[in-house]
Amino acid sequence: MNTQTIVIVGAGQAGASAILELRGHQYNGKIILIGDEVHLPYERPPLSKDAILKPDQTKVEILSQEKLDELDVEMLRNNAVIRILPDQHQVVLQNGEQIHYDKLLLATGGAARRFPLLDALGKHVYTLRNLEDSQALIPVFDAGRRILLVGGGVIGLELASSARFKDCQVTVLEQSPMIMGRSPDIIRQFLLEQHQTKGVDIRLNAKISSASIRDETVAVTLENGEELVADAIVYGIGIIPNAQLASEAGLDVEFAIKVNENCQSSHPDIYAAGDVATQLRANGQYSRIETWENANHQAGIFARHVMGIEHPLASPSWFWTDQFDHNYQFVGDMLAEEWYVRGNMNTEQNQLPKFTLFGVNDGIIVAGIAVNQGKDVRFLKKMVSQSMPFNQEKLLDVSVELKKLI
């Protein structure tokens, strides 16, 4: 290949994974990694959980300085890219420096979607997106404190779990009729009951109409007139892709950076991966997937494409969440029409529930959810990848291991 210099903007999961993929496939050109944070590349999944509960024991760093040196990567920290000059194949840094690239990967992730009503309060209001945000919540989640979490998605529920673990009084406000809106009803109801059992007060159809600071507390009034008072509010209502650089450079942006099956943007030498990218899928539609696995997968596509290596077939989407002492892993299409339970969803005293759900469309397995059944996930991925027919009698028989049914 003729590429001499690859510049990666964004030192998160996608950016770090792209480096490992490039060097793993013997790319020997120059790699420059540019991050706007002071940190070395780190991953975000622990930020809502162990990074708060066990900060001294939790490693979030993906690539150490020693590893970057070993991989011969030049890293520029705390120096954001402020402009892309596509015609000149250059990026302009905050300090005014201009850096040349042959291929450019934008892995800039996303920022917390703002809630102006709460932001206006200033103190006692938090979001979670980066390492500093996580560290700021450590003293906030102190035993006995009243914590109000706005948003009943994955981040909100993981934070609810962490706050309860630290013996906080926790209330979750979700403006929709149910938590975890992109998941099937059967698992949403289970999650709701698990949180309620652990003492989390979850309010559904709860919309905030006003908020104010009262001495050292925060008061919010819901649209139904109810008032709630808390010591702190943490909100998580989604993210906004950091696509401004791409938009200002004239790339095709529709909320996120539009990329093709090779993760190329509308400029063939500029790629995007991770939360900032919306990718053309096999069905002809663009979609954006906010998962750790998708960031890694798209980084791999980028690395292989610039090196002229065929990239593997896409695997089913997969993500996980840890809440209280339960591990949930989701595979495939969560909009499946029918869901079947393998195992027992009923919780018994001092025993973790262990079960697997199959999502089925027209007799074909299109999805799976494993709850405290991590060993089943690889087989669920195979079933979904192979569009395996759903045999209810065999697959729901827990006396037979799942691996023997593929």
> Among 167-181, 286-300, 341-355, where is mean pLDDT lowest?
341-355
CATH class of 325-405: alpha beta
Say if residue 225 is exposed, middle or buried (CB neighbours under 10 Å; 0-12, 13-18, 19+): exposed
For the beta sheet containing 326-332, the strands, ordered from the edge strand earlier in sequence to the opposite edge, are 318-323, 326-332, 364-371, 354-361, 338-344
Predicted confidence band at 311 (pLDDT cuts at 50, 70, 90)? Answer: confident
- Over 70: is that where the pLDDT of 399 sits? yes
Residues with Cβ < 8 Å from 346, sequence gap 6 or more?
Answer: 353
Amino acid of residue 255: F
| pLDDT value of position 349 | 65
Query: Is the fold of 5-111+240-306 the same as that of 114-235?
Result: yes
C-alpha distance from residue 46 to each of 24, 107, 321 (Å):
26, 19, 10
Strand partners, 365: 360
Asked if residue 329 lies in contact with residue 291, where contact means CB atoms within 8 angstroms, the answer is no
C-alpha distance from residue 359 to each of 155, 327, 333, 334, 364 (Å):
24, 18, 8, 7, 8
Rounded CA gap, 226 and 222, in Å? Answer: 5
- Over 60: is that where the pLDDT of 2 sits? no
The sign of the dihedral angle between the CA atoms of 181, 179, 125, 129 is: negative
The pLDDT of 374-397, averaged and rounded, is 96
Residues with Cβ < 8 Å from 362, sequence gap 6 or more?
Answer: 337
Closest of 319, 323, 238, 237 to residue 48, by C-alpha: 323
The pLDDT of 37-55, averaged and rounded, is 97
Architecture of the domain delimited by 5-111+240-306 = 3-Layer(bba) Sandwich (3.50)
pTM recorded for the entire structure: 0.95
Q: How many CA atoms does the CB half-sphere of 108 hold within 13 Å?
A: 24
Asked if residue 218 lies in contact with residue 148, where contact means CB atoms within 8 angstroms, the answer is yes
Q: How many CA atoms does the CB half-sphere of 70 hold within 13 Å?
A: 7
Rounded CA gap, 66 and 15, in Å? Answer: 17
The pLDDT of 205-230, averaged and rounded, is 97
Mean pLDDT of the chain: 96
DSSP tag of 313: P
Question: Taking the CB of residue 248, how many other CB atoms lie within 10 A of it?
Answer: 12
The sign of the dihedral angle between the CA atoms of 295, 300, 301, 303 is: positive
Asked if residue 141 lies in contact with residue 147, where contact means CB atoms within 8 angstroms, the answer is yes
Structure tokens at 284: 């002809």
DSSP tag of 348: B
DSSP tag of 274: G
| pLDDT value of position 1 | 56
Structure tokens at 86: 């596509």
Rounded CA gap, 95 and 103, in Å? Answer: 22
| pLDDT value of position 282 | 82
Instruction: List the chain domain ranges.
Output: 5-111+240-306, 114-235, 325-405
For the beta sheet containing 227-230, the strands, ordered from the edge strand earlier in sequence to the opposite edge, are 208-214, 217-222, 227-230
Rounded CA gap, 261 and 245, in Å? Answer: 21
| pLDDT value of position 174 | 98
Predicted confidence band at 352 (pLDDT cuts at 50, 70, 90)? Answer: confident
* DSSP structure string for 138-153: HHHS-TT-EEEEE--S
Structure tokens at 117: 């009503």
The pLDDT of 28-49, averaged and rounded, is 97
pLDDT tens digits, residue range 96-134?
Answer: 999 999 999 999 999 999 999 999 999 999 999 999 999
The pLDDT of 17-28, averaged and rounded, is 97
CATH class of 114-235: alpha beta
Which residue carries 């009262």 as its tokens? 214
- Over 80: is that where the pLDDT of 348 sits? no
- Over 60: is that where the pLDDT of 207 sits? yes
- Over 80: is that where the pLDDT of 372 sits? yes
Predicted confidence band at 378 (pLDDT cuts at 50, 70, 90)? Answer: very high
